[in-house]
């Protein structure tokens, strides 16, 4: 009876085992099918297992791949079954990879942790992309497209073709379709599909497009008796030209075995030394071997006697050059694909050149607006008063520091900038009036003394700023809505701060024109500018006009300081970076003329950016060339682009 119960128990155990095997989860069965290569974890052999999981269509495949990539997949040594694990006392709890249920425990020695190296993890990551592209979360799908862009594979092409039409997000759909066309160029074996994809990128400025097209035009330099019929010819070369120097052509012939290798000077010398006998080598006296021609004659004699390797002579080389053709051939055999790639790249280069010109023009316009803001106050004081104010840059500095102080008190960056602009004007207006009343008014018609005095004031103001704020740069932070740049395409972009400065310059241009042409103050300023004695006889107080004009010019410099401080480092020397350009802008444009200052700023900004583009590695050289140009310009037009009549013009 006991024996019967034992047999029944054994039958029950074996029956359960058979049932377990019969109901093995598909994902477990698939892993065990490739268990040997998974356990080995060799990058050379692992691909079939990863591909099988990716193509299985099983819902558990993504989880298994992610766990495997994260080194969280374990193999039980006894039966080759795969599990996830969790800590359990001194051992590990076994978690079924299909159901996620705990199915037992095991010691660490009974299990093997799968630890894929970086190469295998990369392969797993590539396989996971197709699951991520179908993820309901748009952020996951975007990450999948990023992964493809970093490390695309041929298998991704079909996945993109299947998911791109069903993508609900228009931005992601556009990215997926673009990526699909790029991968078609790289991996699709059908030439017609490649050509169609290439043509779709005509005039596209994306760097990724050029990265996909340039490899298609890779060439190899070859030499042959005649050009092979199956060669995809890029260009035919003539020896002795810049494209193929004679020495390079001879080297190709030697490499192809059409010519024996030339004998270099060291080898020839060694052969000659080894064959000296009785003061003679090759029939030539040793003392006469002072020229290369004599040494070559001796070597040729040795070669004729079989004592040295023969060197190809000029006649032999010329004959070999004449008997062979030299050409560059595309590595890609299909001429339709290479022709399409070359045509599209040429179109892209043209579009790129136009956009680079547009980007350069935007940069020049931006720089011109900065110079205009920095110089307009100087144009007013210099034009009306004839005062060379070397402290003008320090008014710019005072404006920038005013903005910094306001931001310390008002943490809202938008509100602080809006408050800083009028406050900077008020501070520098007051400083300008004080400077005019205390110093400048006593030095009229004495330009050298004025220059020296304002230069001394400039140094003093810089030192005061260092004593108050220190020597380190202080931040003047722009609001969030000014962060970033307006990106038109991969080539043309401009920061929002530069755009804001451009519009600020336009506002000040319009405001100054209104003040000078539509107000009593403007009328009096123009009267004093043109003829101060006649203006005084008409009841205008030139002394008061000079004070207000100097204050106005200084106040505008303060506002320029706030604008410049948004993108430049706010230090005590910030104004010195613009003082030279400000004077050049005023002088080139025409002293005292608002429109002249605008024209001078445009000319200086364009000239500087143009020179920097021609010589990008040397900013100092660009500044030097610009100053030389301006010196020559003033020689031919000393009164500037727009000459102004009056006291400033006479000065």
Decide if 558 contacts 573 (C-beta within 8 A): no
**Rounded-to-10 torsion of CA 347, 352, 354, 358:** 160
**Residues 264, 87: Cα–Cα separation, whole Å:** 72
- Please name which of 594, 607, 605 lies closest in space to residue 648, comparing C-alpha atoms: 594
CA–CA gap between residue 531 and residue 224 (Å, rounded)? 86
CA distances from 190 to 147, 185, 211, 234, 242 (A): 25, 9, 20, 21, 37
Sheet holding 233-237, edge to edge: 219-224, 325-330, 233-237
What is residue 618's predicted lDDT score, i.e. its pLDDT?
Answer: 62
Distance CA 231, CA 334 (A): 9
Q: What is the pLDDT of residue 580?
A: 80
Closest CA to 381 of 622, 181, 648, 101: 648
Helix 542-565 / helix 335-385 crossing angle, nearest 10 deg: 150
Q: What is the pLDDT of residue 343?
A: 92
DSSP 8-state assignment for residue 97: T
Alpha-carbon distances of 386 from 440, 528, 638, 647, rounded to whole Å: 11, 11, 16, 7
Neighbours of 563 (CB within 10 A): 29
Q: How far apart are CA 639 and CA 588, in angstroms?
A: 8
Using CA of residue 205, residue 210, residue 216, residue 221, what is the dihedral sign?
Answer: positive
Residue 405 has a CB neighbour count (10 Å cut-off) of 18
The answer to whether the beta carbons of residues 164 and 173 sit under 8 Å apart is: yes
Question: CA-to-CA distance for 434 and 441, rounded, in angstroms?
Answer: 10
DSSP β-ladder status, 219-224 and 325-330: antiparallel
Architecture of domain 355-650: Orthogonal Bundle (1.10)
**What's the CA gap between 24 and 30, in Å, rounded?**
10
Q: What is the rounded CA–CA span in Å between residue 623 and residue 30?
A: 70
**How far apart, in whole angstroms, are the C-alpha atoms of residue 252 and residue 247?**
9
CB 497 within 8 A of CB 478: yes
Interatomic CA distance for residues 36 and 26, integer angstroms: 17
Determine the pLDDT at residue 620: 67
Structural tokens at position 554: 């200084």
DSSP letters, 488-549, are SSSS-EEEHHHHHHHHHHHHHHHHHHHHHHHSHHHHHHHHHHH-HHHHHHTT--HHHHHHHH
Three-state DSSP at 83 gives strand
Cβ–Cβ under 8 Å, residues 253 and 223: yes
Spatial separation of the C-alpha atoms in residues 97 and 83, rounded to whole Å:
6
pLDDT of residue 3: 42
pLDDT averaged per 10 residues, the chain (length 651): 43 38 72 86 85 81 86 88 87 87 87 87 80 84 86 83 86 91 91 92 86 91 89 90 89 86 80 82 82 82 80 82 91 91 91 87 88 84 76 91 92 90 93 91 83 91 91 85 82 86 88 85 78 80 85 89 87 85 82 81 86 71 76 79 57 45
| Separation of alpha carbons 262 and 298, rounded Å | 16
pTM check: above 0.85: no
State the residue for tokens 């104010």.
Answer: 389
pLDDT at 429: 93
pLDDT value, residue 39: 85
Q: What does the block give as tokens for 529?
A: 């500018």
Q: Two tokens at 207?
A: 């760097």
**pLDDT (0 to 100) of residue 606:** 87
Show Cβ contacts of residue 217 under 8 Å, excluding neighbours closer than 6 positions: 234, 330, 332, 338, 341, 342, 345
Taking the C-alpha atoms of residue 561 and residue 374, their distance in angstroms, rounded to an integer, is 8
Is 383 in contact with 366 (CB distance < 8 Å)?
no
pLDDT of residue 528: 77
Per-residue confidence (pLDDT) for residue 619, from 0 to 100: 63
- CA nearest neighbour of 381 among 371, 373, 369, 389: 389
In 3D, which of 516, 492, 481 has the Cα closest to residue 595? 516
Q: Please list the helix, strand and coil fractions of the chain in percent, rounded to the nearest 5, in that order.
A: 65, 10, 25
Q: Hey, where are the domains in the chain?
A: 2-120, 134-217, 355-650
Strands (E), 202-263: 219-224, 233-237
d(CA 420, CA 433): 19
Backbone angles phi, psi at 200, to 5 degrees: -70, -15
């Amino acid at each position: 009876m006991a024996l019967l119960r034992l047999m029944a128990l054994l039958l029950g155990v074996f029956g359960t085992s058979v049932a377990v095997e019969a109901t093995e989860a598909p994902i477990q069965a698939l892993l065990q099918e490739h268990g040997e290569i998974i356990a080995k974890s060799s990058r050379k052999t692992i691909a079939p297992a990863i591909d099988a999981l990716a193509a299985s269509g099983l819902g558990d495949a993504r989880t298994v791949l992610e766990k495997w990539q994260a080194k969280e997949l374990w193999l039980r040594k006894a039966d080759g079954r795969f599990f996830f694990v969790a800590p359990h006392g001194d051992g590990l709890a076994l978690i079924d990879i299909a159901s996620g249920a705990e199915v037992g425990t095991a010691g660490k020695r009974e299990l093997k942790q799968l630890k894929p190296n970086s190469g295998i993890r990369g392969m797993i990551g590539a396989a996971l992309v197709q699951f991520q592209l179908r993820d309901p979360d748009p952020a996951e799908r975007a990450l999948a497209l990023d992964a493809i862009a970093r490390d695309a594979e041929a298998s991704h092409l079909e996945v993109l073709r299947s998911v791109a039409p069903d993508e609900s997000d228009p931005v992601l759909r556009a990215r997926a379709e673009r990526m699909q066309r790029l991968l078609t160029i790289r991996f699709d074996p059908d030439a017609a599909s490649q050509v169609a994809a290439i043509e779709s990128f005509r005039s596209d400025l994306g760097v990724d497009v050029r990265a996909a097209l340039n490899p298609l035009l890779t060439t190899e330099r070859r030499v042959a008796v005649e050009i092979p019929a199956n060669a995809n010819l890029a260009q035919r070369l003539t020896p002795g030209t810049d494209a193929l120097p004679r020495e390079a052509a001879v080297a190709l012939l030697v490499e192809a075995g059409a010519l024996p290798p030339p004998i270099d000077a060291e080898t020839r010398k060694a052969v000659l030394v080894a064959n000296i006998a009785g003061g003679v080598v090759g029939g030539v006296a040793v003392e006469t071997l002072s020229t290369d021609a004599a040494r070559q004659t001796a070597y040729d004699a040795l070669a004729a006697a079989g004592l040295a390797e023969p060197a190809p002579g000029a006649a032999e080389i010329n004959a070999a050059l004449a008997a062979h053709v030299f050409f560059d051939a595309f590595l890609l055999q299909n001429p339709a694909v290479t022709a399409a790639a070359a045509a599209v790249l040429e179109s892209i280069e043209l579009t790129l050149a136009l956009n680079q010109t547009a980007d350069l023009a935007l940069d020049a316009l931006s720089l011109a607006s900065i110079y205009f803001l920095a110089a307009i106050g100087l144009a007013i004081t210099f034009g009306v008063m004839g005062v060379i104010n070397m402290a003008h840059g320090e008014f710019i500095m005072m404006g920038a520091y005013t903005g910094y102080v306001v931001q310390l008190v008002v943490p809202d960056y938008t509100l602080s900038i809006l408050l800083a602009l009028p406050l900077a004007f008020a501070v520098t207006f007051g400083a300008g009036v004080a400077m005019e009343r205390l110093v400048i008014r006593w030095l009229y018609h004495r330009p050298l003394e004025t220059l020296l005095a304002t230069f001394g004031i400039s140094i003093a103001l810089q030192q005061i700023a260092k004593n108050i704020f220190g020597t380190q740069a202080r931040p003047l932070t722009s609001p969030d809505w000014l962060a970033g740049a307006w990106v038109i395409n991969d080539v043309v972009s401009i920061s929002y701060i530069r755009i804001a400065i451009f519009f600020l310059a336009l506002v000040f241009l319009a405001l100054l024109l209104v003040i000078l042409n539509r107000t009593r103050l403007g009328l009096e300023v123009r009267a004093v500018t043109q003829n101060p004695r006649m203006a005084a006889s008409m009841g205008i107080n030139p002394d008061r006009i000079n004070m207000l004009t100097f204050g106005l010019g200084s106040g505008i410099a303060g506002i320029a300081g706030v604008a410049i401080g948004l993108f430049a480092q706010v230090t005590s020397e910030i104004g010195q970076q613009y003082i030279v350009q400000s004077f050049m802008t005023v002088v080139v444009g025409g002293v005292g003329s608002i429109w002249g200052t605008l024209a001078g700023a445009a000319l200086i900004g364009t000239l500087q950016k143009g020179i920097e583009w021609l010589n990008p590695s040397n900013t100092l050289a660009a500044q030097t060339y610009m100053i030389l140009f301006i010196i020559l310009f003033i020689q031919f037009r000393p009164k500037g682009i727009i000459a102004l009549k009056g006291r400033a013009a006479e000065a």
